[in-house]
Each structure stands twice: as C-alpha cells, then as structure tokens.
Amino acid sequence: MPDIILKCDNLHKSFRKKEILKGVSLEVRSGDILGFIGPNGAGKTTTIKLILGLQSIGSGNVSINGFDIKNNFEKAIAKVGAIIENPDLYMYMSGYDNLKLISNLYPNISISRIDEVVKLVGLDNRIHDKVSKYSLGMRQRLGVAQAILHKPNLLILDEPTNGLDPEGIRDLRNLLLKLAKEEKMGILISSHNLAELESFCNKVCIIKNGSVVETSNLEDVKKQASEGNYVIEVDNSKKARMVIGDISSAMDNTHIQVHSDKEDIPSIVKKLVLQDIKVYSIKEDVSTLEEAFFKKTGGNVID
C-alpha cells in the first residue's frame, strides 16, 4: 500500500459567519494523481489554501508526510511544490536563470539538480532563452520545474491548464504522468477541464457546497454514474426502440441505449430476437468524468 503523503481530515472554514468548508476530507498517496473538481464556489481553492498554510484552518487537520500543518508548518511544507494558476516568472531572464534564482531559496540545490529538472520537464533545447520567448505551455513546464526543484513528493496545481493550447495541455499531461510514475510523486490538481483530467488522473474528489460528495478511483466514479445503462448494437434501432419501449432511446441507426437492471438484459435481448431483430453486441455504457460530475452535482457550472 503506497504511503499517504497528504491527508485532510474534516476541514471546516468560515468567512463572516458563512461556512465555506463543511468537513472536507481527502488523501493523496505516493504516485496518485487526484483530480479535485467542483462547481463555482464549492470550496476547491479554499481547501488548497488551507493545505498550503495560506489561510488558517477553522477546525480539522491537514498533515503532509506525517507532519501537522498547524503545529509543524516548516516540516509539513518542506516537501511540497505548488503552482496556483500561472507560475511567477521573470520574463526578462532565461529559464535557466529563473531556476538558479529559485534554487537560492533552498539549501543544497546543485547545478546537476537544475540540469536534471530541466531534462525532466523537456526544456533542454530552450532553457537558456529568455522566458519572454517561451510559449505559455513552456512557461508552465518551467513553473513545474521551479516547483519540483527541491525534490518534493507532493505537487499541488490549481487550474494549471488555463490558457494552454492542445499541445501545451498534452505536454503538461505527459509531464505529470511521468512525475507520478517515475518520481512516485503525489499530485493534487484542481481544474475545470474534465476531459483532460480524465486522461491522466487515477483518482477523483468531487466537492459541492463545501462538502465532498464523492472520492474514489476514477474508473469507479465513472462506473457508478453509468450503472444501469447499456448500449445494444442491432440491425434496426428504430424497430428495436418500438419493441423495448420507454426504457430505450435510439443513438443512431444501429445502436440503442437501454436503462435497465442487469438481470433484465437477457429478457430484453430475447424480445428483440423474437421480433427478428439482429443483436450484434451488448456493452455497459460507461460515463465520462463530465457526465459523472453532472450527476453528482446537479449540472452546476464548473469554476
């Protein structure tokens, strides 16, 4: 069982007597990429600020690598890297000089470590160019390089794909997968881009109105949301729809979606066959993360 790097236990936070967080609990283990999602005002950014010690905790606890953030802040935060939206960079300096400057904030960051990080984020060929000449995706990769320079085992990213083009998003996705797999880093990422999160997260935490409504493995969340939905491939979807009735809907000329208990599927197939409708395949209709999100939150707009 991988080690728990980050553990949030029953976090509460209020502003002007309004309760923003209502008992938020989550955890990130070594090698996890946890997608932290929720509607507008759900409490995502507030939770992240409590984790990083940027706001005081009303009640509850945050521990990082076994150290309590309130009672032992320096040790708790020592192995944490973070980017909140766009990274802070000196545009008139080279990427390399930006990293050298950041390295002065930590003890014992060697030149070889800087070179190692540059290679890890894939900026070898452009690291000595001025940051002003970088694309937004390259700046984001340089920001990640800054965040992991001191060898953290927890990386926290808040809306890191904002403004990135598809190529920049792909590069960031590949980098995060590499950090989780090869560096065994735990990653907490908050984003409104659910299709992208689905492509690389292995766990999901959904928050609504300050409360966690779901936290589980990504595939379990999607499967739970799609429970009872099946796609049947037939030779004539219009005719099949007439035979099955209201529990079905035609997707195209040869596919129908059926909402039914698993135990009833054989009798549905039998009905179709008895009406001379050819049945070619039956499969569970697995929801996307976006569909699962809407079912859990009621379809609220995502921040």
Dihedral, 68, 69, 75, 79 alpha carbons, nearest 10: 110
Q: Say if CB 155 and CB 183 are below 8 A apart.
A: no
Q: Are 184 and 267 within one domain?
A: no
Residue 302: per-residue pLDDT: 43
- Residue 252 or 298, more confident: 252
| 154 and 63 within one domain | yes
- In total, how many domains does the chain have? 2
Instruction: Give the model's pLDDT for residue 234.
Output: 87
Residues 72, 50 share a domain: yes
Residue 15 lies in a domain: yes
Q: What is the pLDDT of residues 140-176, one digit of tens each?
A: 889 989 999 999 999 999 888 777 788 888 888 888 9
Judgement on whether residues 74 and 154 belong to the same structural domain of the protein: yes
Residue 263's pLDDT band (boundaries 50, 70, 90)? confident
Reported as a single tens digit per residue, the pLDDT across 182-218 is: 889 999 999 888 888 888 899 999 999 999 988 888 8
Predicted pLDDT of residue 110:
92
Last residue of a domain, one of 223, 247, 270: 223
3-state secondary structure of 217: strand
* pLDDT at residue 187, as a whole number: 95
Are 269 and 232 a contacting pair, CB within 8 Å? yes
Q: 199 and 239 share a domain? A: no
Is the pLDDT at 13 greater than 90? The verdict is yes
CATH number at residue 263: 3.30.70.100
Residue 214 lies inside a defined structural domain of this protein: yes
User: How do residues 47-95 score in pLDDT, each as one tens digit?
Assistant: 999 999 999 999 999 999 999 999 999 999 999 999 886 788 999 999 9
Please report whether residue 17 resides in a domain: yes
Q: CA 300: distance to chain centroid?
A: 18
- DSSP lists the bridge partners of residue 256 as 232, 250
Question: pLDDT tens-digit profile of 24-33?
Answer: 999 999 999 9
Residue 291 lies in a domain: no
Q: How many CB atoms lie within 10 A of CB 198?
A: 18
Domain with 258, as residue range(s), is 228-285
CATH number at residue 91: 3.40.50.300
| One-letter amino acid of 129 | D
Task: Work out the percent of the chain whose per-residue pLDDT is above 90.
Answer: 45
Tell whether 163 and 277 lie within a shared domain: no
301 part of a folded domain: no
Confirm whether 294 is domain-assigned: no
Q: How remote is the C-alpha of 26 from its chain's centroid?
A: 13
What's the pLDDT score for residue 226? Answer: 59
Reading the block at residue 296, the tokens are 């859990």
Shared domain check, 188 and 167: yes
What value does the CA radius of gyration of the chain take, rounded to a whole number of Å?
24
Same domain, 153 and 280: no
pLDDT band at 255 (very low <50, low <70, confident <90, very high): confident
What are 88-125's pLDDT values in tens digits? 899 999 999 999 999 998 888 999 999 999 998 889 99
The predicted structure's pLDDT at residue 290: 76
303, part of any domain: no
Phi-psi region of 229 (alpha: psi -120 to 50; beta: other; left: phi over 0): beta
197 and 108 together in one domain: yes
d(CA 244, CA 264): 12
Do 217 and 243 fall into the same domain? no
Residues 146 and 92 reside in one and the same domain: yes
Residue 11 vs residue 284, higher pLDDT: 11
Residue 64 shares a structural domain with residue 38: yes
As a whole number of angstroms, the distance between CA 37 and CA 274 comes to 46
Assess if residue 300 is contained within a domain: no
Q: What is the mean pLDDT of residues 284-295?
A: 74
Task: Give Cβ neighbours of residue 270 (< 8 Å, ≥ 6 apart).
Answer: none
Under the banding of pLDDT at 50, 70 and 90, the label for residue 303 is very low
Beta carbons within 10 angstroms of residue 62's beta carbon:
20
Which residue is it, tokens 């659910």?
194
Nearest to 198 by CA among 296, 293, 297, 82: 293
Last residue of a domain, one of 207, 223, 239: 223
Q: Is 24 exposed, middle or buried (0-12, 13-18, 19+ CB in 10 A)?
A: buried
What are the beta bridge partners of residue 302?
Answer: 39
pLDDT at residue 168, rounded to an integer: 80
The answer to whether residue 251 scores a pLDDT higher than 70 is yes
